[in-house]
């Protein structure tokens, strides 16, 4: 009896040590247990398009970029003949981007020395004082006032800046202690011109001043320590920024003072991507819980849920995976359509005026990144094998009321519009009140106790 009890005690002690060892290993390696639910594949590839559709970049291999230049070459040679580039014919079913017969398209291959995790194009102004010191190498002098740059986030934590015109390396931005998950440039005509916002697995966001030679001047801390900040976005008017991550929190930042405007917890799993609408009035985020939520970040209320699995699961375990993870999204330039890619090997295009069901479903195997072209006619989709597909996007004639709303929301803030003597119905339309009429698309929020905890620190 004593021997049996002793063996049982030894077995229990060994089992207890094994359980604690596994738990400690998870916490030490991932930072927190909830990070285990976010595991991006090493085969993930990303794609980005410039603001004028002249440049397209995607990661064809883990550490290799392909930069596609669709600009017409001028007599002075924006791309010199000495550059090692060759004209190509893209094997896509869509002609991109111009019908000009004199246009020449060029493709460059860029080796980044580490796995590419994020891409972004931006129009920035380079300081002519700092440019001769090395930052402006490869950029022509007349392009210093408005240079198109390509920012590349790497798994090692570095951010490499390239000239989109020449493809030459300019500078390394080093301060993150984890893999860079997402990048976004400030809008061209905003208060924070020539700024770069980055987020990383070190639970922080960082701001870089490219006009000042890439100086990192601010670190933003709002997400839980040990969690990954997976996505970030900048509104087109430059007044707002957003970030999301494995803590399931979507944070909206005031860019004027970089304080937290709102902190919400609407998803039941990791937030994978987020983006503002072209008029900066709406914010859409997608998650591994099979949903994408359209959110009014100014009033702080969710409007519509884009459901990729029906019926919607009421429980989504944070450390589990499902067959309907939403891996990425993009807003069209007209603000009427949203494209999402899902782990069920389908790409869905949604019309925001009728969000009950997608207006188009396209089979797309193993898609990892998606991006709308700024002209709204095409969609670029990158797969885990590094192949790029350009698909035609559904377009419709915009209503005059929708165009007016887009112009008003882009030009005036919501407080100014509320002070105008307008009919109640018109005020509701300007605030996208018609989206609340779709009762079957109402977001399923967390339980009341969790909402009370959330509202306790919702805004600062």
Asked if 144 contacts 118 with a C-beta cutoff of 8 angstroms, the reply is no
Q: Look at residue 421 in the predicted model and tell me its pLDDT.
A: 86
Report how far apart, in Å, the C-alpha atoms of 135 and of each of 14, 126, 212 are: 58, 8, 9
Burial 155-194 (b: 16+ CB within 10 A, else e): bebbbbbbbbbbbebbbebeebebbbbbbbbbbeebebbb
Strand partners, 381: 370, 389
Please give the Cα distance from 213 to 216 (Å, whole number): 9
Q: Look at residue 439 in the predicted model and tell me its pLDDT.
A: 66
DSSP secondary structure string, 112-146?
Answer: -SS-EEEEEEEEE---TTTGGGTTTTTS-GGGTTS
Q: Look at residue 53 in the predicted model and tell me its pLDDT.
A: 85
Q: Look at residue 165 in the predicted model and tell me its pLDDT.
A: 84
- Tens place of pLDDT per residue across the chain (460 aa): 444 456 666 666 665 555 545 444 443 344 343 454 455 656 789 999 998 888 999 998 888 998 888 754 444 434 443 333 333 334 444 433 333 443 445 788 999 989 999 999 998 876 544 554 455 555 554 555 568 899 999 999 999 999 888 888 989 999 999 999 999 999 877 667 789 999 999 999 999 998 888 899 999 999 999 999 999 999 998 899 999 999 999 999 999 999 999 999 888 889 999 999 999 999 999 998 889 999 999 988 899 999 888 776 665 555 555 688 899 999 999 899 999 999 999 999 999 988 888 999 999 999 999 999 988 888 999 998 888 988 988 888 888 999 999 999 988 888 888 888 888 999 999 999 888 887 667 666 555 444 444 444 444 3
Report how far apart, in Å, the C-alpha atoms of 168 and of each of 29, 135, 138 are: 36, 11, 6
Please give the Cα distance from 24 to 33 (Å, whole number): 10
**What six digits make up the tokens of 226?**
């040990």
Closest CA to 409 of 268, 297, 255, 270: 297
3-class DSSP assignment, residue 192: coil
Domain chopping of the chain, boundaries: 29-72+86-129+143-314+323-435
**What six digits make up the tokens of 358?**
């997608």
Domain 29-72+86-129+143-314+323-435: top CATH class:
mainly beta
Q: Look at residue 82 in the predicted model and tell me its pLDDT.
A: 35
DSSP state of 45: -
Q: Look at residue 31 in the predicted model and tell me its pLDDT.
A: 39
Neighbouring CB atoms inside 10 A of 40's CB total 17
Q: Look at residue 97 in the predicted model and tell me its pLDDT.
A: 39
Please give the Cα distance from 327 to 314 (Å, whole number): 20
Write out the E strands in 92-224.
106-111, 116-124, 147-154, 158-163, 169-174, 180-185, 195-200, 205-209, 215-220
Please give the Cα distance from 388 to 343 (Å, whole number): 17
């Amino acid at each position: 009896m004593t021997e049996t009890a002793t063996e049982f005690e030894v077995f229990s002690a060994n089992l207890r040590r094994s359980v604690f060892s596994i738990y400690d290993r998870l916490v030490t390696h991932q930072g927190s247990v909830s990070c285990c639910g976010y595991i991006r594949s090493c085969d993930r590839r990303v794609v980005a398009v410039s603001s004028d559709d002249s440049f397209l970049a995607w990661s064809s291999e883990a550490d290799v970029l392909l930069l596609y230049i669709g600009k017409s070459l001028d007599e002075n040679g924006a791309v010199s003949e000495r550059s090692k580039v060759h004209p190509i014919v893209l094997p896509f079913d869509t002609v991109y981007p111009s019908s000009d017969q004199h246009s020449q398209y060029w493709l460059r291959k860029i080796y980044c020395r580490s796995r590419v995790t994020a891409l972004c194009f931006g129009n920035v102004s380079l300081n002519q004082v700092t440019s001769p010191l090395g930052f402006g190498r490869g950029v022509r002098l007349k392009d210093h006032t408005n240079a198109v740059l390509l920012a590349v986030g790497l798994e090692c934590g570095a951010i490499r800046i390239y000239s989109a015109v020449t493809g030459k390396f300019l500078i390394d931005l080093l301060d993150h202690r984890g893999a860079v998950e997402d990048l976004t440039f400030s809008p061209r005509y905003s208060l924070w011109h020539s700024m770069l916002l980055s987020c990383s697995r070190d639970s922080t966001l960082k701001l870089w001043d490219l006009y000042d030679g890439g100086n990192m001047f601010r670190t933003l801390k709002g997400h839980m320590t040990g969690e990954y900040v997976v996505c970030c976005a900048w509104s087109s008017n430059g007044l707002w920024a957003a970030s999301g991550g494995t803590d399931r929190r979507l944070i909206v930042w005031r860019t004027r003072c970089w304080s937290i405007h709102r902190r919400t917890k609407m998803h039941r799993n990791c937030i994978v991507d987020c983006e503002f609408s072209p008029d900066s009035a709406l914010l859409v985020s997608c998650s591994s819980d099979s949903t994408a939520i359209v959110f009014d970040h100014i009033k702080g209320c969710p409007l519509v849920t884009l459901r990729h699995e029906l019926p919607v699961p009421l429980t989504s375990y944070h450390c589990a995976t499902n067959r309907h993870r939403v891996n990425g999204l993009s807003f069209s330039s007209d603000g009427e359509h949203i494209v999402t890619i899902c782990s069920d090997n389908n790409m869905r295009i949604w019309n925001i005026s009728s969000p009950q069901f997608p207006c188009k479903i396209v089979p797309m195997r193993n898609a990892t990144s998606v991006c709308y072209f700024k002209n709204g006619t095409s969609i670029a989709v990158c797969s885990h094998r590094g192949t790029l597909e350009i698909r035609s996007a559904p377009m419709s004639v915009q209503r005059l009321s929708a165009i007016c709303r887009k112009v008003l929301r882009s030009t005036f803030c919501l407080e100014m519009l509320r002070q105008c003597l307008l009919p109640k119905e018109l005020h509701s339309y300007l605030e996208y009140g018609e989206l609340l009429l779709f009762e079957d698309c109402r977001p399923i929020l967390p339980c009341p106790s969790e909402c009370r905890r959330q509202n306790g620190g919702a805004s600062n």
